[in-house]
Structure 1
Amino acid sequence: MNMKPDQTTAAAGRETDGTADGRPGHPLKRGLWSMAFTELWERYSFYGLQGILSFYLLYELADGGLALDPAVASGIVGAYGGAVYLSQILGAWLGDRLVSPRDMVLYGAVVITAGHLVLAFAPGFAGLGIGLVCIVLGTGALKTNITSIVGFVLDGDERYRDVGFSYFYMAINIGAVVGPLTTGLAQNELGFHYGFGLAAIGMCAALIQYAASMKQLPERARTVNNPLPGNRRPLLALAVLASLAAIGAAVATGLLHAENLSTVVTFASLAAAAAYFLTMTRTSAVSRDERRRILGYLPLFLASGVYFGFLFQKFTAISILITERIDLTIGDWKFPVAWITTVSPLAAVLVTPLIARMWNRLGERQPGTVAKVGIGLAQIGCAYLFLLVIAEATGKADIPLFLILLFMMLAGSSEVFVGPMGLSLATRIGPEKFRSQMVGLNFLTLALGSSLAGLLGQLFTKIGNSAYFTVTAVCGIGIGLALLAARRPVGRLLESGLER
């Protein structure tokens, strides 16, 4: 995305007449939009569920909830979110070694749809457990592979890569906005399972959209990049069976339970990330420049994990704060609780075109990826500083609804500096033999962030609001400033061996 003004004009002209680099029809108008709309509906279902899940666990039985302790509810929500993204490592590996990315997305969509249908029609803990497990497994198959397909579509168009991924990310956030708006209204007026049913309908739409566009995908999406030798497949089957047996034994013996789920998923995410970094930096299949780029990505990985931990607190600590200190009554009407968390992705959607246009106009003068992530962290830290001021000013009284909505806007709009940059960077700097798995590594930042948000939610139940928001604000601003200070050396590592 380093374009001079004359290059920008020429690029805009090629997009208008529908050609780019001699190919009929720019990918922004063809394959990218097919994948973007599939992802929009999939995210509609995911965030439609996520928007009401915390409150389903927290609300009393009389209100249609499960009446869980707030610390337990935070642990479950954080672990579920972390497991969704952690499973994408397996999905990325399968998409690289066993099944084509195109087919992995299709199979994942079918399993996710089944999970949402179970949640909609099966009440209580049994429906909750089966439905969430299906969504975890299906999303693992779908997410990294659909992102890899977008990378294939934009391959060879480096001028448009950041712009293309920004619009793809905007589709994600549109689904993240519309999902909780509709499911939250259905939950507010009719009950939780009606909200779950709308999420199921959204996932059906994603499945139909993807099935209709499969034939348009690039050839690379239909092939297995690095096929697993046939003699190693029995070992894979044994490893899967052993893993399932170990999880079953941990649950049966009480080693794995609701209260420690977030802790387990956090350590699993860190262990998986360490394994990936070690494997990719030590294998002979990775060149010296590729190894330098991976090392340059390490500080961004950790910083992004912390960032998403702060952002995803809207499903844990902030959800608890909402149930305890926000008056939702407006006259005779109760404001849908899920709509509060919707403000966060809505702010990101609204600001994305403005930021993308600004990057396009700045060209070579725009901040690098490291600086953008640093800006995002500093901004979300300032959002928590704002929340600290609110908590101090109101004392033990209710916090006005409009102030928590303003906090959500400040925190949510920072995502445009972190999320799209991670997706774009992972598909650009990944080693040739580990391209899909590099995307999976990027999604581990979301796994780490989700499970970290669960742990932070549990911490929120044990210490005062002021102390909690102080620590969060200082960490966000401090890490953001540290990244800004280190942007040049880290940026040089990330650009090793790449054409600018």
Structure 2
Amino acid sequence: MAFTELWERYSFYGLQGILSFYLLYSLAQGGLEVEPAAAAGIVGAYGGSVYLSQVIGAWLGDRLLTPRTMVLSGAVIITAGHLVLAFGPGFGGLAVGLVLIVLGTGALKTNITSIVGFVLEGGSQRQRDVGFSYFYMAINIGAVVGPLTTGFAQNEYGFHLGFGLAAIGMAAALVQFIASMRKLPARALVVNNPLPRRRLPLVALVALLGVGAIAAASATGLLRAANLSTVVTVLALIAAAAYFLTMTTSRAVTPDERRRVLGFLPIFLASGIYFGFLFQKFTAISILVVERIDLQIGDWTFPVAWITTMSPLAGVLITPVIAKLWNLMGDRQPRPATKVAIGLIQIGCAYVFLLIVSQSTGDAFIPLALILLFMAAAGSSEVMVGPIGLALATRIGPGAFRAQMVGLNFLTLALGSSLSGLLGQLFTKIDGAAYFSLVGFGALVLGGALYLARRPLTGLMGAGLGR
């Protein structure tokens, strides 16, 4: 599962690493020459939609199809999307390719994470944190190698060859999963909570109405590049509210399970905002790179996608160290709320550093080394948030809503991605000093507040569970 996820993330981040620049670059440079604010909106909405679709994927993998079937079908659809991007020209190819990737990733991501949870079932929270940290390291390896290779291909040969490499990576994920299917836990072959057959027509009707509403909004101009991130952010918040409301009011949820869900709510909100700050590497920071970073090193141009690669690379390098530390500390290690607070404080410090750098350089170019240092500081903080949320979701979720709890956790990424689009649009409208102050000190305040609330939250999330 880790290697399947590695190749899937290779393709996803290989595309993500060059997508912003495909929109921002001029036609002469092989790009689409989109205005920065609109480009930020598109990238943020795409990222948010990828994770928002996982809510549907989690539901389908819990009520209609087995997790194995969902992962396999998702891998096929994603591969098709990357091939369309590689060979389809202009905005038409971009739109079709991105829609396919959104749908396929929705089917794959939550269900493959649920399968990993099945593998680690029965372990303590410490063992699950370590196991998911290594799974998350596979994610980060793909996130590093993907942009390194697609970024080099784009830099030397053009964007569409970069998209083609992402397609090859997704094909490798498909092959890896097919080769591993016979080793999957038995629960991966079972529909956990089958939907009664009498409700299938209602589900089909809702699906048709949803597709029709999206098509009508696009045709009438209600959905535009400028407001895509806003729409996806609102949808992510509505979906999250529906999940929390359903799980806290369901008769199938015990009182202890209800307390755990309520304890997860502040972690969910803090994580969503954290990812909004982190994913600015694809929006506001990408705009900053285009406008204020000199990529020339002698006669060679530093591949622009390699800058964003520094973020997951730092995560890959720090993960074994942190996982080893958690193992050594055992039950003395920080609890999940404390870890997320540390992640927020760290990324806040990174943005304060960027504030100092941007102000001290004035209107001159920012040295490449300093933006790489910022990316490393921000990216390495993810190990305190990403794997912790995954481990929590698979452990504290109500028994009747285990797959949906994983989907709820992925909504933090949907919220973060769409929020990064809104922040990117804000970056184009206000002074840089004010912007980086808002983000940096906002993260510090939020992290400090979460740290102060760590003990009651730990008590709620541990209700009815052993250590």
Do the structures match in fold with TM over 0.5? yes
The separation in 2 between residues aligned to 1:196 and 1:391, in whole angstroms, is: 32
Pairing partner for 1:114 from 55, 59, 80: 80
The separation in 2 between residues aligned to 1:130 and 1:172, in whole angstroms, is: 25
Pairing partner for 2:113 from 139, 147, 157: 147
Matched with 1:395 is 362
The separation in 1 between residues aligned to 2:134 and 2:377, in whole angstroms, is: 21
In structure 2, give the amino acid aligned to 1:169.
Answer: Y
Matched with 1:186 is 153
| 1:86 maps onto 2:29 in alignment | no
Matched with 1:427 is 394
The separation in 2 between residues aligned to 1:248 and 1:103, in whole angstroms, is: 28
Once the two structures are superposed, what CA deviation does each residue of 1:164-197 show, in whole Å capped at 9, x if it has no partner?
Answer: 1000000000000000000000000000000000
> CA offset at residue 253 of structure 1?
1.1
The separation in 2 between residues aligned to 1:55 and 1:253, in whole angstroms, is: 28
Once the two structures are superposed, what CA deviation does each residue of 1:254-283 show, in whole Å capped at 9, x if it has no partner?
Answer: 111111000000000000000000000001
Matched with 1:330 is 297
Report % sequence identity: 74
Does the residue aligned with 1:258 lie in a helix, a strand or coil?
coil
| 1:206 maps onto 2:173 in alignment | yes
The separation in 2 between residues aligned to 1:251 and 1:421, in whole angstroms, is: 37
- Comparing 246-255 with 145-154, greater Cα deviation is found at 246-255
Matched with 2:273 is 306
After TM superposition, list the pairs within 5 Å mapping 1:126-275 onto structure 2. 126-158=92-124, 159-275=126-242
Once the two structures are superposed, what CA deviation does each residue of 1:359-378 show, in whole Å capped at 9, x if it has no partner?
Answer: 11011111100000000000
In structure 2, give the amino acid aligned to 1:213.
Answer: S
Matched with 2:377 is 410
Superposition RMSD in Å: 0.5
> CA offset at residue 160 of structure 1?
2.0
The separation in 1 between residues aligned to 2:219 and 2:21, in whole angstroms, is: 27
| 1:476 maps onto 2:443 in alignment | yes
Matched with 2:285 is 318
Question: TM-score, structure 1 length as denominator?
Answer: 0.93
In structure 2, give the amino acid aligned to 1:58.
Answer: L
Question: TM-score, structure 2 length as denominator?
Answer: 0.99
| 1:44 maps onto 2:16 in alignment | no
Matched with 2:320 is 353
After TM superposition, list the pairs within 5 Å mapping 1:55-66 onto structure 2. 55-66=21-32
Matched with 1:98 is 64
> CA offset at residue 90 of structure 1?
0.1
> CA offset at residue 400 of structure 1?
0.3
**Structure 1 regions of 5+ residues with no counterpart?**
1-34
In structure 1, give the amino acid aligned to 2:177.
Answer: Y
Once the two structures are superposed, what CA deviation does each residue of 1:58-98 show, in whole Å capped at 9, x if it has no partner?
Answer: 00000000000000000000000000000000000000000
The separation in 2 between residues aligned to 1:169 and 1:121, in whole angstroms, is: 31
> CA offset at residue 157 of structure 1?
2.0
In structure 1, give the amino acid aligned to 2:285.
Answer: I
The separation in 2 between residues aligned to 1:458 and 1:368, in whole angstroms, is: 35
The separation in 2 between residues aligned to 1:271 and 1:162, in whole angstroms, is: 29
In structure 1, give the amino acid aligned to 2:466.
Answer: E
Does the residue aligned with 1:496 lie in a helix, a strand or coil?
coil
> CA offset at residue 252 of structure 1?
1.1
| 1:443 maps onto 2:410 in alignment | yes
Pairing partner for 2:454 from 480, 484, 487: 487
